Chains A and B, each alone.
Chain A
Amino acid sequence: MRSLADSGISVDLPPGWDGQIRVAGQGSATTARAASADAEELTGEGRVLHAASFALPPERGDYGSGAVELMGGSDVLVCLLEHEREAASTALFAREGIPRVEPAMFSPQSMQRSIAGMAGTQHFFQVAGRAFCLYVVVGSWRTRVPLVRVADRVAASIRITA
């Protein structure tokens, strides 16, 4: 495991995994293509964490557009997206603590943009007054059980401080 940390967010990456923590909305700053493909490109000073079992392309949106298209059937993408702090007081982000993911949560319809064979899930929550969305994509809905197990281990290793 290799630890990656920045801006009060850290994650342990399994061997062979890529990871990045960057300012939200940089997809639009560096690439119009990735940003336009993202349903909701974040703005503000929030951070975005991407952890992937494959090579993360530099051109990608906050929700992983530009990256999910590269995923193979055995790949996993974990996205942690920080929203404005004010959002933490809303009902959508009322849940406290980083959620765990399990196979039953995944659905092809939960993708930001449906891609045949793939499945995703997303959950909103808050930690230390910071509002987040955890968005996880697995490369194959049919073999999601072992893939979700890996994704859950990565999600469980995420640490957030104020």
Chain B
Amino acid sequence: MAAVVVALALALALLGVLVVGLLRSHAEILKALHDLGVNLEDGADAAPPRRASARSRHAPARTAPGVPRPRSDGPLGDATDLTGTLPRGGAAHVAVAGVDHPTLLAFLSTGCGTCGTFWAELAEDPVRHLPDPSTRVVVITNGPDAESPAAVADLAPAGLVTLMSSEAWDDYGVPVSPYFILVDGPSGRVVGEGAGTSLEQVVDLLGKAMADVGTAAPATSARPLTRMGGQDRADRVDRELLAAGIEPGDPSLYPAPHASHAGDDRP
């Protein structure tokens, strides 16, 4: 009889431990969901997600294996243009500041496992993931001193500029690959940065960052990076001229007399 009582007591204690463990696990899941802005209570509105800055004050950020942690000392600042070498030979300069479109800088390497996903995704029309279709995507690896140009050339997406520039990694303080930085062209400012396990995740992250700083992209770009037909081009030229206050017959539309015609009195 005593043995049965002891056995039941042990079973009860074991069940108690299991219940406590389950409740604790459940609470942690709810807390994590709440941090992401999800509220499972009936009738409750979605809770606003905590800002990264608030979260970072309370708990260290956690990332998936292979994904670098966000920088704690990375204030968004001025962007710098990119200069480097091309994987198939040659040199290039890419302007990202003072241009009329945003630029997504994808800092990748040929050796990191997580980067493999991005090399593949970027090869398949990455702009379709982006909220602003005029966004230019530029892939940047370290320079030839740290990467094999042939290996980079093999992975380089055909539709994107791929630049090898250790200088760019230093300029932007890139902590590790993969890492993404979004630059607002007109202001020349970095408006978001971070990493993820997929391009969709990174774009979502950067989209929120843009919304946070009030630089959400317009639905349509002033200058879409698509090819235009002859009439479309002529219409656009007319619109740009009118916007600049230049109307038909404006003197600025006609060249100054050539030097050889200096004595010519034709109008």
Interface residues of A (CB under 8 A from B): 2, 4-7, 13, 15-23, 26, 29-31, 47, 55-59, 69-70, 72-74, 102-104, 115-118, 139-140, 142-146
Question: Do residues A20 and B236 form an inter-chain contact, with CB atoms below 8 A?
Answer: no
B234 adjacent to A20 (CB under 8 Å): no
- The listed residue (B89, B159, B160, B230) touching A117 by CB distance below 8 A is B230
Closest 3 CB pairs of A and B: A22-B90, A116-B230, A73-B237
| 26 intermolecular pairs with C-beta atoms under 8 Å apart | A4-B92, A6-B85, A18-B92, A20-B90, A21-B90, A21-B91, A22-B89, A23-B88, A23-B89, A26-B89, A26-B90, A47-B90, A55-B94, A55-B101, A55-B225, A56-B161, A58-B160, A58-B162, A59-B159, A72-B236, A72-B240, A116-B233, A117-B233, A117-B234, A139-B237, A146-B252
List of B residues within 8 angstroms of A115 by Cβ: 230, 233
**Set of chain A residues within 8 Å of B81, measured between Cβ atoms:** 2
Whether the Cβ atoms of B99 and A6 lie closer than 8 Å is no
Residues of A within 8 A of B99 (CB): 16, 55
Stretch from B171-179, B200-208, B253-261 forming part of the interface with A: B253-261
A73 touches B236 (CB 8 A): yes
Q: How many residues on the B side are at the interface (Cβ–Cβ under 8 A)?
A: 42
- Besides A22-B90, A104-B258, 4 new A-B residue pairs in contact (Cβ under 8 A), listed by A number: A16-B98, A16-B99, A18-B94, A57-B161
Q: Select B86's contact among A17, A22, A103, A144, beta carbons within 8 Å.
A: A22
Decide: A58 near B158, CB < 8 A? Known: A2-B81, A16-B98, A72-B223: yes
Distance of A107 from chain B, by nearest CB (Å): 12
- Measured between C-beta atoms, what is the minimum distance from A158 to chain B in Å? 14
A70-B225, A72-B236 given as contacts; is B253 within 8 A of A142 (CB)?
yes
